[in-house]
Structure 1
């Protein structure tokens, strides 16, 4: 690996460590050779996400996404990109034979964030999550390695991406409202007489409402069901990759425990798994890996 490429991967690692603390902690359980590709995929997704969610003042997010589209052309044409994140991504794409459609699908969902502010049903939301989360799981499969045909492991990998993202939606309700978005399906909120106005009232005033708690409890239960659907896929991964994915799964699902422990009062604050819990779960996984 050249010094330039090594520096590019180091930049992706820095981005991961800064923005994705829970995910980054789990990546430390990966075999060393799988970490650079993991960081590169995270770095690309984060850079695109920042264009949409935190655009510099005066910038045009739509133009920013179009620029990433063009940059992907260079990634897949073999022309060395000058941007360090894209340089690392290009190497990862070549190394693992990743398909272009996985990244096109991701950008398509990111464009939806510029024009879609809420979703009527879970099926509608899932069409968004397919590009924004499920394809991330599919991108990761070649990096993690499998002991079964990749197509057999793919549905589980996609489900895990869905589970992770829906957990983020539940944790970040207030933050997303601040951006004008509601990712919780309108029909499922309406079943408990909850709508955007009630969520905005709660986020603005700090007021709690039994209807919101009941709706969130139902959505947490739905999220846990997706984790149950995804977990059997861990056994289909390469043995050395399983501790990482199992740890990430446990830590992300623990965010749901924190939401419940907060009595679903999450519209004004962002719950997090305590650091001691994160290190306890990761430490246990490290010891298990060493013992095996």
Structure 2
């Protein structure tokens, strides 16, 4: 095993994480600009870790199912070592790009005392995305089933962030709202990306909620093929947008449980993601033809408004 990383190496690792956040998480990255300099790198590290794992899972053409699961196992082994004094065994399954990300993540976890269970839960859901895995799912019959997936893919990330953000109440009291906000962000992504997910043979929306409006997979695929959102699908999506907005409402009181200095950033993130739902509605639910994108000038205005509101 190599010796402990030096300060320069750790700084370089955080810079890499910042570049990942800036490239792939535009709304997320913009909101982090409102955080203090001491917290921003940690948030970038958590984002880069989740993104890098997601890239392993979402690139099946570059590795087999067995190799993908081996890579996730290697990541989990290395993660476990953060909380253990025993060095992890060397493994070639760990993707090279994880080196600096794990270095920054390790520093973040130790400085902010983030619990291991939130990463274990995250990796559990990531295995649900691997075709051929015993846990694989590409369809979700109900919101309860989707919530099981989001417990790791979204809520766990909110709980990872909580120690970095800090709270004015016992951390456990702030956890339900943090988990709800993570789920709200994730569901927004699912509504925005329904067309792209169909192309990957995934449907991250509850089948029973769609069926209540007469929508099935065949109709969704028809909409993707034609680029037109049929009226019954628009009604189903409008319902799910309302469900999504309710998640944001549940999460909103939790912002006041956070350290005052971080509240503008979290409000900004919620407003920026909420604006994606506005955009979906403004586009008349044309999510099968194009991705709902919030214009930069509007994103900046929303972020500035959150900063002023405090």
TM-score by length of 1: 0.95
**Structure 1 residue 66: deviation in Å?**
1.7
Alignment match of 2:232 (pick from 197, 211, 232): 211
1:159 lines up with 2:180 in the alignment: yes
Q: Which residue of 1 aligns with 2:279?
A: 258
- Report SS of the residue matched to 1:83: helix
1:130-169 alignment, distance < 5 Å: 130-169=151-190
Shift in CA distance, 287/136, structure 1 to aligned 2, threshold 3 Å: same
Cα distance in 1 for residues equivalent to 2:32 and 2:308: 15
Alignment match of 2:46 (pick from 32, 41, 48): 41
Aligned residues: 289
Cα distance in 2 for residues equivalent to 1:204 and 1:61: 30
Give per-residue Cα distances to partners, 1:26-70, cap 9 Å, x unaligned: 000001101111011101100000011124524432222122122
**Where does structure 2 lack aligned partners over 5 or more consecutive residues?**
1-5, 91-97, 131-135
1:76 lines up with 2:83 in the alignment: yes
Answer yes or no: is the 8 Å Cα contact 2:209–2:236 preserved in 1.
yes
Cα distance in 2 for residues equivalent to 1:13 and 1:206: 35
Q: Quick check: 201-210 or 232-241, which moved more?
A: 201-210
Q: What is the CA RMSD across the aligned residues, in angstroms?
A: 1.6
Answer yes or no: is the 8 Å Cα contact 2:33–2:40 preserved in 1.
yes
Alignment match of 1:111 (pick from 113, 127, 139): 127
Give per-residue Cα distances to partners, 1:62-93, cap 9 Å, x unaligned: 22212212221333335599811000100111
**Structure 1 residue 100: deviation in Å?**
1.1
Give per-residue Cα distances to partners, 1:4-46, cap 9 Å, x unaligned: 0000011111100001000000000001101111011101100
Cα distance in 2 for residues equivalent to 1:159 and 1:288: 22
**Structure 1 residue 208: deviation in Å?**
2.7
1:20 lines up with 2:15 in the alignment: no
**Structure 1 residue 288: deviation in Å?**
5.1
Q: Which residue of 2 aligns with 1:88?
A: 104
- Report SS of the residue matched to 1:32: coil
Answer yes or no: is the 8 Å Cα contact 1:75–1:90 preserved in 2.
yes
Instruction: Determine which structure has the larger helix proportion and give its number.
Output: 1
**Structure 1 residue 284: deviation in Å?**
3.0
Answer yes or no: is the 8 Å Cα contact 1:167–1:256 preserved in 2.
yes
1:98 lines up with 2:103 in the alignment: no
